[in-house]
Structure 1
Amino acid sequence: MDIKYELFNDHFQNYKRYNIPRAQLVIADIPYNLGSNAYASSLEWYVDGDNKKGESDKAGKAFFDTDNNFRISEFMHFCSKMLIKEPKQKGKAPAMIVFCAFQQIQMVIEYGKKYGFKHHIPLVFIKNTSPQVLKANMKIVGATEYALVLYREKLPKFNNDGRMIFNWFNWTVDNSYPKIHPTQKPVPVLKELISIFTDCGDVVIDPVAGSASTLRAAIELNRNAFGFEIKKDMFKTANEKMLRNIPMSLVL
């Protein structure tokens, strides 16, 4: 199977110039708008993770300066244009999966409706660790991630192979993949989602690709994958580390 993939160093708004095919699935990890407190509960706020050594250069910083400029309306417009049209037959409709903060869920639902995504399924991902290590002796800390499956009218393509799929998933981490982005989603988690909502040869797009872990997961499953990453240093690192020497699946 001839699989195509590419990461573009550009804003997803400029997608027309690349003539990429429409997708069966869009996956995106939108900015959580943590602003200057992005590292506030992480040990990275301090030198060597030790609060006795003083604040590190990440104290009072956002993950990326582009996070505050993210416009969800432009994102939803892109998704409405780049997902395939709903086919007449059942079980073939496209979907999008949006990772977001718990506080963003209702906003994502409402914006989705404005652009034709009338239905949603909330997803919860269960971790066995928490990034909020500095808060552990002060309060209950977060150990979950959230996402929404958004779709238009018909239920999206669904490959459950006879098993019941719950709306919660284990946050399975594989440390053999390079860690590039501070909020990078694990490749095993992405592969599970891609396997459910697409078939071999389908197209997967990530409009805010970051580390390109979505592209890596899709390619390993023999899906065509395209992504956009506006930051030059992230684009370069993703190409050099995440999109090199990719083993293709033998399941065709």
Structure 2
Amino acid sequence: MKFEIFNDHFQNYKRYQIPKAQLVIADIPYNLGKNAYASSNAWYVDGDNKNGESEKANTEFFDTDKDFRIAEFMHFCSKMLIKEPKEKGKAPAMIVFCAFQQIQMVIDYGEKYGFMNAYPLVFIKNYSAQVLKANMKIVGATEYAVVLYRDKLPKFNNDGSMIFNWMNWSKDGKSIPQIHPTQKPQAVLKRLIEIFTDKGDTIIDPCCGSGSTIRAAIELNRNAYGFEIKKDFYKLATEQMLKEYEVSLFEI
């Protein structure tokens, strides 16, 4: 198996000559800007508004969470997913985690770049980050993603069982470093990887953040390549999330 993570923008992929993927998984920025913590008690010191605002009040998750260019992202995916093979049940797919309000945008841009088919996935939590709204309104306890593919249905490993378009969202245990504010749980990532790929297939995460997708792929014996433009997240991913694996790391 081969695993590499690059401290670079995915647009510069050509310089690395990485193989094309069976599956692209990405958690694109939600473009929340300075409202990132607006419904979370992290807005206040120790989570209590009596203590005043914390350093996270009126701040972004990260400074790239406001100007994500989805057209560039879709172009990358259209180039880096393998071509559809003649055989049935072997086609590639991409999975894009996004905010509920971004679902239609992801589908529309996907169509412009040849991904003519799409369907949403819903992930159900037993908790909510919107604690400040709990006594005011129904709070959000779901996450969303969109599965996109070109023409043929993508590879699908269901082991004879029906797979619903909703899945449980399980928190990571203490053994998994919590690096990124929108980090996805290993159980969720592994389930998706198992459904849409086989051992030995290649996975690419163009916005790999904490490196959680790369870790999940490694543990499932898939090849994995990731791009992370932010040096601080790249450093944490390589020194914490992936420290126990022999991964080739490239820093620009």
Q: Residues of 2 paired with 1:174 and 1:208: CA distance?
A: 20
- The alignment's TM-score, normalised by the length of structure 2, stands at 0.96
Matched, 1:9 2:12: no
Give per-residue Cα distances to partners, 1:4-29, cap 9 Å, x unaligned.
11110000000000110000000000
Match of residue 75 from structure 1: 73
Deviation of 1:246 after TM superposition, in Å, equals 4.4
Identity of aligned residues (%): 78
Q: Residues of 2 paired with 1:245 and 1:121: CA distance?
A: 36
Q: Residues of 1 paired with 2:51 and 2:172: CA distance?
A: 31
Unaligned runs of 5+ in 1: 248-252
Deviation of 1:68 after TM superposition, in Å, equals 1.4
Match of residue 55 from structure 2: 57
Q: Which runs of 4+ in 1 moved over 3 A?
A: none
Match of residue 233 from structure 1: 232
Q: Residues of 2 paired with 1:181 and 1:118: CA distance?
A: 31
Partner of residue 39 from structure 1, selected from 22, 37, 40: 37
Q: Residues of 1 paired with 2:242 and 2:14: CA distance?
A: 23
Deviation of 1:67 after TM superposition, in Å, equals 1.5
Give per-residue Cα distances to partners, 1:199-219, cap 9 Å, x unaligned.
000000000000010101011
Q: Residues of 2 paired with 1:174 and 1:39: CA distance?
A: 21
Cα RMSD (Å): 0.9
Q: Residues of 2 paired with 1:58 and 1:122: CA distance?
A: 31
Partner of residue 93 from structure 2, selected from 86, 95, 102: 95
Mapping of 1:105-120 within 5 angstroms?
105-120=103-118
Mapping of 1:79-228 within 5 angstroms?
79-175=77-173, 176-228=175-227
Deviation of 1:69 after TM superposition, in Å, equals 2.1
Q: Secondary structure at the match of 1:121?
A: strand
Unaligned runs of 5+ in 2: 247-252
Match of residue 243 from structure 1: 242
- Native 8 Å contact 2:97 2:145 kept in 1: yes
Match of residue 249 from structure 2: none
Give per-residue Cα distances to partners, 1:18-65, cap 9 Å, x unaligned.
110000000000111111100011111111111111101110001011
- Native 8 Å contact 1:220 1:246 kept in 2: no
Q: Residues of 2 paired with 1:68 and 1:126: CA distance?
A: 26
Q: Residues of 1 paired with 2:142 and 2:49: CA distance?
A: 25
Task: Count how many residue pairs are aligned between Structure 1 and Structure 2.
Answer: 245
